[in-house]
Structure 1
Amino acid sequence: MPVMAGVLGGIRVIDLTSGISGPMATMLLSDYGADVVKVEPPGGDPTRNTETGARVWARGKRSIELDIHDEAQREQLLALIDRADVLVENFDLGVTESLGLDWETLRARNPRLVMCSITPYGRHVDFKNRPGIDALVAARTGLHWEQRGWVGTSIGRICGLPVELEDLDIPPGCFDGPDREGPLYPQSRWPSLGASFLALTGINAALRARLHTGRGQWVETSLLQGVLVSTAGGWQRPEHPEADGYMCWIFDPRGSKGHFQCADGKWIQNWVPNPSFALGVSQGDTISVDDRINKPTDDPTRIGPDYSELVVLAHYHAQMKAAYAKYPSKEWLEAAAQVGIPMQPTRRPEDALNDQALIDEGIVVTLDDPEVGPIRQVGLVYGMSKTPGMVQGPAPTVGQHTDEILAELLNPFAATPTTPSGDLKAPLDGVLVLDLGLAIAGPFSNQLLSDLGATVIKVNTVYDTFWHSTHIAYTANRGKQSISINLKDPRGLAVLHELVKRADIVQHNMRYEAAIRLGVDYESLVTIKPDLIYCHSSGFDKSRAHLPGNDQTGACLAGVEYEDGGMANGGKPIWSLTSFGDTGNGFLAANAMIQAIYHRELTGEGQFLSTSILAACLLNSSYAWVDAETGEGVDRPKIDALMFGTGPRTRLYKTADRWICLAVQNDEQWHAVERSLGIDGLTSMDNGHAIETLSAALRVLAASEAFRLLDDAGVPCEIEDDQFAMRLFDDPQFRDAGLVTTLQQAQVGRFEQFGHMWTFSETPTRIAGPPLIVGHDTVDIMSEIGFAQGDIDSLLADGVILQSTLRQERAL
């Protein structure tokens, strides 16, 4: 077995997956040092023929061609598994048992094995056997309805609230995306992307746990859990949604998301929309930035999250639209950079892959593909200073390494011994994390670590209460203790230093120059804790480090908004409310931190880690790649301008009463559509005629009848369920499966949100507490790290620290 460079060097992974979620997760394991063996059926993984991204997701792996339904070849597979550290599979339920590849069988053969299973819906819901096709999972769970959200927000709808500002006149263009009603079909495969992030995190956490227990375990996740983590900001049910600051307009489609078309026809996104900037610099024949134009942090009129801001956005929208149309995008971007306004161009994935700054940094790499020649694709998505990753090579041809891998089975084999240090309560039990993060990306990564068993102390400022009252903050801050410190005061910094001495990890996503000014940069803190793991999450690459970044502008730069909005076919950009920009960055940071813990527990060595929203968004659009010589992109299906789908076979259709989604995979199923609906000649029609004909046939049928006819005929389809989120917190099967949880939170009372995103057979996850209250644990933490009560009282009196008077259960 070849030993690769990287933090996972020496780890062998058997990849039995197809589709998107498994191949993408195992690609990232390869990028960071694992020897990934892709087991392909005779003729190869079918994904090679259905997904352009398969050429990217198979990179760095070795391919063996095996017919696992043949007994002799299945024995060869079992021999490979006996020697493996990790097995990843996404078979239909029941298949592993029928093949003798189930967990009980495999762990008896290889007790050190970490097995990760990715299913469509898990094993415990009554629709568990429905097809695991992204579009259909999105349809069944209502995710297509969530792309731009509901008027009044999903939370308002779930809580039965009247629509805030219901009579407000919203001008044309405020709504994101196409000018039509109904669900929207994006290019991004959010369920699989979420499941991929979850699988990767679960595998890395299980490998860390194995260092302590000496045992592997079974890790399970699903596309359904990918949906739940993608909707974490919108699918919440508080007892008191009227609590000060909780509700905000951002997830309401009536609020402009800052997309504007410029004089050159190109689109930019300014998030959060800033009327004073747009109107202030556009009074003359050229854009003029002067002393009257404020940075967002100094602008008293900047748009906040309060619902009343909808009125302001609606009032200024037409004026802003006219202002942006006066000048070309380049001039707007230059002015925004000068002032510090978050703004980026909405560009194609191909533009990102041809971006020289990204190429220079290794976020985009060129590989010499054995079938199509040199191609550029997403590169390394996070940095590790002591154990850097490396893309191991291009995608292999089918069975390229079969003889090599089978020959390795003839070599003597002995499992690497592990000396157990004891049992763990959870995968990251015993890890202490200091969370200095802002907004979502940083805090979300640390919430993941908390769910996996780490103790997380959120280091809040003394003025954070406003932000932490919003439902968006509730997305990323459960299960954390909170200490509130003014780090600009030397006495406050001294408190932090005492925490750093005891911490394993410090993580934040402030701009690095701000960290330097505060004295919380890596170089400063590593002198206090030499083996510290320090993770910095940013918006963009190094060439844009001086620019403010966020989920929206990262998605612009990576091409996600271009693709999701069908802009190649004349559509408008759209920022999906289920985006994995901030949270995707959070997942990357979580994985980097878990891998760094794994490395430190082997070597005693800490390190500096770096991630970005832009890298996460490039991963989200990694189905795209370009010819390295011409810069031209690969031909691939694209969404139409109205976001119905990619063609007649994969599309949303209106029925007499609801919507239905088709995801036809082959000609046989397409013929089944003809037979089931009594349509002649569908297979010979061009796309436009086929869509027109099929739309007419479905428009007269109730959705339930259309579904019955198509499903009985074996056509992959689902009704677009706009009520899924409304049932989520009341359906016992979701609660029994741990998919939703109820917590008691001091500001909003009983609080329900997404629950456990993995099942670990040996070291279960936990939810350590409700979303935090700023300063809830300040005095307790300071006492525990040795501060005398008199010193604590003095710091409280001087405003250096803050202790909340609100009380709730303290996070574990």
Structure 2
Amino acid sequence: MSALEGLLVVDLGRALAPRYASMLLGDMGARVVRIEQGEPPPAGLWHPLLARFFDRGKESALLDLHTPQGRDTLLGLLARAHVLLHDLPQPEAQALGLTGAVLAQRFPHLIVCRMPPFPWGWPQAHAPADDGVVSAWTGIYGDQGGVGNPPAFVYLPLPSYGAALNGVIAVTSALLARLRSGRGQEVEVSLVDGSLALQTGTIVGGPKVRPPAGGRRSPQGINPIYRLYEGSDGEWFFLACGNTTFWNKLCIALERPEWTADPRLADAPWGLPQDAYEPLTTTLAHIFRQKPRAYWLDLLRRHDIPCAPALTREEFLQHPQVAHNHILTTVEDPLLGTTRQMGVPLFLSHTPGRVKGPAPLPGQHTLQLLEEARRPPDLLPPPGPTPSAPLEGIRVVDLAMYIAGAYCSSILADLGADVVKVEPPTGDPFRPNSGAFQGWNRGKRGIVVDLTRPQGREVLYRLVERADVVVQNYRPGVAERLGADEASLRRINPRLVYCAVTGYGPHGPFIDRPAFDPLLQAQSGAMTAQGHPPVFLRVAITDYAAAMLGAWGVLLALWHRARTGQGQRVDSCLLNAAFAIQAGEFFQAPGLPRPHHLDQLGTGPGYRLFPAKDGWLFIACWEHAHWDALCRTLGVGSVPLPQPHSPEAERLSVLLEERFREREVAHWLSALARAGVPCAPARLTRDLFGEKVLWETGRLVEHTSADLGTVHQVGLTFHFSQTPGRLWRSAPALGQHTREVLAELGYTPQETDALYRARAVA
């Protein structure tokens, strides 16, 4: 049995985010009914045929919601449904009577998740927008280029992927809250929220917060020992010395032990001074160009140094761990024929998901669903008290470090869980990334426990006795050595939800290899698809996706436990997350073209970045009407939209650039908005701190950190009408709450002092 068996989800989405979210809910057992309105899916960054992937396993009803019969059928289905997903503009939802307030009166049990590009009520909410517009507005394109450089187009629809993963987290959280209250609620997860959720470690500021390392950035990486390098054969690989241990191993492998004693390099990797970047990068590039890539990968791996080749997607599909994880599946589609597509990217030991089958034919189940909509709804449970947050009362022991595991438990804290971060005496190796560390560890309390000492393990076991969830991201064998493995902890607490967030999964040929986000970016084809030579993506796509999948898995396991009393294991990994955050790009079907992008600016003159007199803006003409309005606004006459990469496309790009350079960004944004052309400023994430609407809606917040003082950072990225989450504290200082937590565990002051003297805690 899958986790969400017995749930009915109605999918009214048109674009990628709600369709992907409902697909994931369906893979985990929910019955998903898709309401087709006879409209093709919008274009933008995804091809219409991809709907055959994102609608897999669903039922389909063709309804005209502007007729009484169509509306009555939808309302009949909603009376029986648990969840409604949609991305309707606010005026259309109001006209159809599908706003949260109206639905709450009629269907108090229903969870309504809306997923618009910009949040309802914002000035931008009434204008057309898509992933390109939101990526530019939220700083993805600006940060990809870097400070002092032009912005750079990112071909992945990251706001939609982020919103889809955020959406299933929000929906499952609302289901957990409904188990206690008997009431549904409205949840908003916009594409803006999806983008912010993928940048919590970047959008961090404050007087004492260091800017991201690297200053003026290279397309190949952010640090001399965390970047792409080319071998003598022209093949590229990524070197990822993400901590001091790996840096020292690199010095030994390259026979440069003197580097470890060089005072300029003493704080490598993350504390390197700016003046050391260029000389070290130049030296390493020269060294690596002396031998082919295969030589360096073999040498580095023998020294346990994280590295990976920059592969194409086709090459990645042959990866032995891909086959072992069963992350690829073949589905026979009635319209497209044989397709290859991502399987279920998350593993639950007792309630695994499955791909149910292909997408239905449009309207295939209309008659059946018309009949079902006429039946009386099931009886609802009596209402109970509403929790203040979805995970109120849930306790999480966080043994994770770095990004994916740490951010996984931070999401649970945002949802109201009491999360205690347990660090070794040396601390999380990513603490030197002070600002980013805040973004990945917000909302937690922090204690220091030495699990190599018996007294330290006893502290852990007391925590686990009263915990609901444990999250860890240890390399293989470490959890067993520390007594923190699933078997040991489940003997203490059989109802435990045990979540492991790893690089490659719980078993298979690659599980012993160290993994960081760019290594899976490189192997999965994300870097080679972004440019040639390969380009490092500034958004840590696999880290964030693995974190979000892990958090969703925990919620699914808690849902199952609430109904059965049974705990289980959840496994999320960076490799599977690489598929989840590029799901549409890995879909293969006869006749499905692969998108092209125009250098680093976009896919063509109608969908790209343009320089204005004082900055940059992004134009997204995914409809011919948009293109015609753009041409009228710029005064270039009636010109057909050319094919990408054609001579005419190049000519028009140059012509439009000349026109845009004549006036300021603000002028063009105003003129294009009046003409109905989707557009946005292309700025850096640091510019978001000046957006008043982000502060007013809680998407940016201010906290006081024990380490850094005032910290500005991303707030909540899901918004509940009845059970709002909470972001009530910044990331903890090392050991900040050790005495407080020990007292809660029943240790007396004398016993606590003894633990400090024994160096079991700090």
Q: Same fold (TM over 0.5)?
A: yes
C-alpha displacement of 1:633 = 9.3
Q: Is the Cα contact below 8 Å between 1:7 and 1:389 reproduced in 2?
A: yes
C-alpha displacement of 1:458 = 0.9
Q: Is the Cα contact below 8 Å between 1:741 and 1:752 reproduced in 2?
A: yes
Q: Does 1:89 align with 2:86?
A: yes
Q: Is the Cα contact below 8 Å between 2:388 and 2:723 reproduced in 1?
A: yes
In structure 2, the partner of 1:175 is: none
Q: Does 1:588 align with 2:553?
A: no
In structure 1, the partner of 2:3 is: 7
**DSSP-derived class of the 1:779 partner:** helix
In structure 2, the partner of 1:157 is: none
Q: Using a 3 Å threshold, how does the CA distance of structure 1 residues 193 and 340 change in structure 2: closer, same or farther?
A: same
In structure 1, the partner of 2:437 is: 473
C-alpha displacement of 1:681 = 6.2
**DSSP-derived class of the 1:260 partner:** strand
Q: Does 1:326 align with 2:294?
A: no
Q: Using a 3 Å threshold, how does the CA distance of structure 1 residues 691 and 710 change in structure 2: closer, same or farther?
A: farther
User: Counterpart amino acid of 2:454?
Assistant: P
Q: Quick one: which of 130, 136, 144 aligns to 1:133?
A: 130
Deviates more, 1:679-688 or 1:345-354: 679-688
In structure 2, the partner of 1:206 is: 174
**DSSP-derived class of the 1:127 partner:** helix
In structure 1, the partner of 2:596 is: 638
Deviates more, 1:124-133 or 1:97-106: 124-133
Q: Is the Cα contact below 8 Å between 1:247 and 1:306 reproduced in 2?
A: no
Q: Is the Cα contact below 8 Å between 1:625 and 1:633 reproduced in 2?
A: no
C-alpha displacement of 1:259 = 0.6
Distance 1:69 1:532 in 2: 49
Deviates more, 1:210-219 or 1:662-671: 662-671
In structure 2, the partner of 1:154 is: none
Deviations 1:404-458 (A, max 9, x none): 322333545314x435553311100110000000111111111111111111111
Q: Quick one: which of 677, 682, 707 aligns to 1:715?
A: 677
Distance 1:326 1:56 in 2: 44
Q: Is the Cα contact below 8 Å between 1:540 and 1:554 reproduced in 2?
A: no
Q: Is the Cα contact below 8 Å between 2:627 and 2:641 reproduced in 1?
A: no
C-alpha displacement of 1:318 = 2.6
**DSSP-derived class of the 2:618 partner:** strand
Deviations 1:533-569 (A, max 9, x none): 1000001243311110011111112222222x23xxx
In structure 2, the partner of 1:217 is: 185
C-alpha displacement of 1:225 = 1.8
Distance 2:190 2:485 in 1: 37
Q: Using a 3 Å threshold, how does the CA distance of structure 1 residues 27 and 251 change in structure 2: closer, same or farther?
A: farther
Q: Is the Cα contact below 8 Å between 2:228 and 2:536 reproduced in 1?
A: no
In structure 2, the partner of 1:809 is: none
Distance 2:708 2:251 in 1: 38
C-alpha displacement of 1:135 = 0.8
**DSSP-derived class of the 1:53 partner:** helix
Q: Using a 3 Å threshold, how does the CA distance of structure 1 residues 597 and 714 change in structure 2: closer, same or farther?
A: same
C-alpha displacement of 1:359 = 3.1
Q: Quick one: which of 659, 664, 687 aligns to 2:621?
A: 664
Q: Using a 3 Å threshold, how does the CA distance of structure 1 residues 52 and 184 change in structure 2: closer, same or farther?
A: farther
Distance 1:302 1:635 in 2: 47
Deviations 1:365-424 (A, max 9, x none): 111122222221111111100101111112222222222322333545314x43555331
Q: Does 1:306 align with 2:302?
A: no
In structure 2, the partner of 1:344 is: 308
Q: Using a 3 Å threshold, how does the CA distance of structure 1 residues 220 and 762 change in structure 2: closer, same or farther?
A: same
C-alpha displacement of 1:216 = 0.6
Distance 2:674 2:102 in 1: 35
Deviates more, 1:269-278 or 1:399-408: 269-278
Distance 2:101 2:739 in 1: 48
Q: Using a 3 Å threshold, how does the CA distance of structure 1 residues 730 and 215 change in structure 2: closer, same or farther?
A: same
Deviates more, 1:546-555 or 1:259-268: 259-268
**DSSP-derived class of the 2:649 partner:** helix
Q: Does 1:547 align with 2:544?
A: no
Q: Is the Cα contact below 8 Å between 2:214 and 2:277 reproduced in 1?
A: no
Q: Quick one: which of 188, 192, 197 aligns to 2:165?
A: 197
Q: Using a 3 Å threshold, how does the CA distance of structure 1 residues 276 and 747 change in structure 2: closer, same or farther?
A: closer
Aligned pair count reads 741
C-alpha displacement of 1:711 = 3.6
Q: Is the Cα contact below 8 Å between 1:350 and 1:626 reproduced in 2?
A: no
Q: Does 1:649 align with 2:606?
A: yes
In structure 1, the partner of 2:577 is: 616
Q: Using a 3 Å threshold, how does the CA distance of structure 1 residues 652 and 465 change in structure 2: closer, same or farther?
A: closer
In structure 1, the partner of 2:217 is: 253
Q: Does 1:605 align with 2:566?
A: yes
Q: Does 1:384 align with 2:352?
A: no
In structure 1, the partner of 2:410 is: 447
Distance 1:577 1:126 in 2: 28
Q: Is the Cα contact below 8 Å between 2:297 and 2:307 reproduced in 1?
A: yes
Q: Using a 3 Å threshold, how does the CA distance of structure 1 residues 253 and 95 change in structure 2: closer, same or farther?
A: same
Q: Using a 3 Å threshold, how does the CA distance of structure 1 residues 98 and 559 change in structure 2: closer, same or farther?
A: same
User: Counterpart amino acid of 1:760?
Assistant: F
In structure 2, the partner of 1:236 is: 204
Q: Using a 3 Å threshold, how does the CA distance of structure 1 residues 530 and 251 change in structure 2: closer, same or farther?
A: farther
C-alpha displacement of 1:82 = 1.0
User: Counterpart amino acid of 2:512?
Assistant: H
**DSSP-derived class of the 1:365 partner:** strand
In structure 1, the partner of 2:73 is: 76
Q: Using a 3 Å threshold, how does the CA distance of structure 1 residues 579 and 639 change in structure 2: closer, same or farther?
A: farther
In structure 1, the partner of 2:51 is: 54
Q: Quick one: which of 456, 459, 467 aligns to 2:419?
A: 456
Q: Using a 3 Å threshold, how does the CA distance of structure 1 residues 419 and 483 change in structure 2: closer, same or farther?
A: farther
Q: Is the Cα contact below 8 Å between 1:375 and 1:625 reproduced in 2?
A: no
Distance 1:85 1:790 in 2: 52
User: Counterpart amino acid of 1:639?
Assistant: H
* Stretches of structure 1 lacking an aligned partner (at least 5 in a row): 152-180, 284-290, 803-812
Deviations 1:178-213 (A, max 9, x none): xxx411001112222222222111101000000000
Deviations 1:653-703 (A, max 9, x none): 223443232211123333333333333563175533233234224424214
Q: Using a 3 Å threshold, how does the CA distance of structure 1 residues 708 and 778 change in structure 2: closer, same or farther?
A: closer
Deviates more, 1:15-24 or 1:142-151: 142-151
In structure 2, the partner of 1:169 is: none
Q: Using a 3 Å threshold, how does the CA distance of structure 1 residues 527 and 685 change in structure 2: closer, same or farther?
A: closer
Q: Quick one: which of 696, 717, 732 aligns to 2:655?
A: 696
Q: Does 1:422 align with 2:385?
A: yes
TM-score of the aligned structures, taking structure 2 as reference length: 0.91
Q: Does 1:740 align with 2:700?
A: yes
Deviates more, 1:681-690 or 1:497-506: 681-690
Q: Is the Cα contact below 8 Å between 1:212 and 1:419 reproduced in 2?
A: no
User: Counterpart amino acid of 2:427?
Assistant: D
Distance 1:47 1:754 in 2: 29
Deviations 1:505-546 (A, max 9, x none): 010111131111111010111111111110000012433111
C-alpha displacement of 1:736 = 2.0
Q: Is the Cα contact below 8 Å between 2:40 and 2:48 reproduced in 1?
A: no
Distance 2:579 2:426 in 1: 34
User: Counterpart amino acid of 1:692?
Assistant: R
Q: Using a 3 Å threshold, how does the CA distance of structure 1 residues 625 and 404 change in structure 2: closer, same or farther?
A: farther
* Stretches of structure 2 lacking an aligned partner (at least 5 in a row): none
User: Counterpart amino acid of 1:303?
Assistant: A
**DSSP-derived class of the 1:527 partner:** helix
Q: How does 1:781-800 map to 2 (within 5 A)?
A: 781-800=741-760
User: Counterpart amino acid of 1:26?
Assistant: S
Distance 1:591 1:275 in 2: 34
Q: Using a 3 Å threshold, how does the CA distance of structure 1 residues 685 and 430 change in structure 2: closer, same or farther?
A: closer
Q: Does 1:776 align with 2:736?
A: yes
Deviations 1:295-349 (A, max 9, x none): 9xxxx978321142x4444223233223323333333323222221111122223
**DSSP-derived class of the 2:509 partner:** helix
**DSSP-derived class of the 2:341 partner:** strand
C-alpha displacement of 1:44 = 4.9
Q: Using a 3 Å threshold, how does the CA distance of structure 1 residues 34 and 468 change in structure 2: closer, same or farther?
A: same
